[in-house]
Structure 1
Amino acid sequence: MRVFANPAELARAVADHAVRSLGAAVDRAGGATWVLAGGSTPAAAYRLLAEEQSSGEQPSGEQSSEGRPAIDWSRLHVLVGDERCVPVGHPDSNWGQAAAALLDRVPVEPGKLMVPEGTLPPEEAASRYEAALALLPKDADGLPRLDHVWLGVGEDGHTLSLFPGLDAVEVTDRLVVGVHDSPKPPPERITLTLRALRGAQDCLVIAAGAGKAEVIAGALEGDEKLPVARAARAVEAAGGRVTWLLDEAAAGKLAG
């Protein structure tokens, strides 16, 4: 866990961690899969990464072990952890947010941008997204290898579109499911499941704001009612690494 003074410093740390994690994955495996998140802190981090791409700079001048820039965008597969069933141009679209802030400004190969089909009904969109995930490189257990994953946190403890008390958080036989009854609008969505997160290698849980302090404290104490706590446990149980990146407000109710 790392705590930063304010959301701007948090976004900087998120961007820097992504550069290191993705660069290491490309060096290790020849390519990397990045799972994006929606929200204000990820959006700020996307903008920082886009600015660095435009300027030709990397955080701290980092290079890969083979002398390449720390992110080789052409070697990435990019997807989102959850999406609202809306067109990409809609203001509620997680993909649309990431595209405007970053993906339209960096040289990821178009065939490696895994855009959800948000205009389809949730079950059909989820089925097609799962089929796309099945084509990704696999980990040792045969799951899609998700090299670097960003997870946000809601004030109710949800992450992705896995909300407390809803069926999606209990799914064990699918990688992606449709959601019809999200308590946050819009109600129809698709989301990765906890099973999919078992393929995560390096996962960031990102939270800012005092409104999230209580659920962060509960999650770090292992409260199983909170989907974000279960998500972190799923990653760690499969051998992945979870890092909690928080601002001071979100960390405000942590003991000590």
Structure 2
Amino acid sequence: MTLNVSSSKVEVAKNFANYFVEICKSKPVVHIALSGGSTPKIVFDELAANHKTAIDWAKVHLYWGDERCVWPYDDESNYKMTYNHLISKIDIPELNIHRIKGENGPRYEAEHYSQFLNIVLPKTNGIPTFDLVILGMGDDGHTASIFPNQIELWNSENYCEVAEHPVSGQKRITITGQLINNAETVAFLVTGESKTERVYEILNNKDLATMYPASLVVPTKGNLEWFLDEAAAAKVTSAQS
């Protein structure tokens, strides 16, 4: 595990964008699972503004780690956010964009996306393998769309599951733990004071951490990167000093 601490959310986005570029340059074909959220949005802006010609987008395939069960033009759609901030601004073939279709029936789409990933992704130990999975973490310690009250979804035998937001009840499609932990690299993008306590508990293996799905991210290849701003890392860095 590697900690990458930056001074601000904007600096996190810049540093991760550089990391993203290097991963895209490292292989002839790259399969990446994207995340929603405010920090990825800034990452996408950074990539579109300053790195769009540094990457051969024809070899990059984009997927989503989770998606809300809404239409792709809905403001809550992770796909729409990515399209507005990145896809519409780069030269990437339409065939390389593999969105979760949130407008479909949730159970149908979870099964469909599972089957799709099983067909198109390369495999390690018989399990589909992303080159990079980008994750965020909520204030409650959830990641992708696996929430603490449904933490059992992490160990599902299925590659994708239907999750439900614990407050709104909104249904979502999410990839599960076996896909996340089978990735070549997993990168957390976590910023803000509201995440400080969760980051500290997870990175220091506190007893409460087992309640948080984010604590279950332990890639079998050992390539786990945390990109944090100083606010999110405050308790971790102070404990190390």
Task: Give TM-score scaled by structure 1 length.
Answer: 0.86
Deviations 1:65-99 (A, max 9, x none): xxxxxx21101111010000001111111111011
Aligned to 1:50: 48
- Counterpart amino acid of 1:45? V
Q: Does 1:156 align with 2:158?
A: no
How many residue pairs get aligned? The number is: 233
**CA apart distance, 1:154:** 0.3
**CA apart distance, 1:135:** 1.9
Aligned to 1:244: 226
Distance 2:24 2:167 in 1: 31
**Unaligned runs of at least 5 residues, structure 1:** 59-70
Aligned to 2:14: 12
**Unaligned runs of at least 5 residues, structure 2:** none
Q: Does 1:21 align with 2:23?
A: yes
Aligned to 1:68: none
8 Å CA contact 2:32–2:62 kept in 1: the answer is: yes
- Counterpart amino acid of 2:76? D
Distance 1:208 1:41 in 2: 7
8 Å CA contact 2:131–2:184 kept in 1: the answer is: yes
Question: What is the aligned counterpart of 1:35 among 33, 36, 53?
Answer: 33
8 Å CA contact 1:136–1:145 kept in 2: the answer is: no
Distance 1:47 1:18 in 2: 13
Kindly report the root-mean-square deviation, in angstroms, between the aligned alpha carbons of the 2 structures. Answer: 1.5
**CA apart distance, 1:133:** 0.5
Distance 2:51 2:90 in 1: 7
Distance 1:37 1:137 in 2: 18
- Counterpart amino acid of 1:244? W
Distance 1:240 1:74 in 2: 28
Q: Does 1:189 align with 2:172?
A: yes
Aligned to 1:146: 130
Deviations 1:128-186 (A, max 9, x none): 1112111223233122120011100100000000100215534331110112x312546
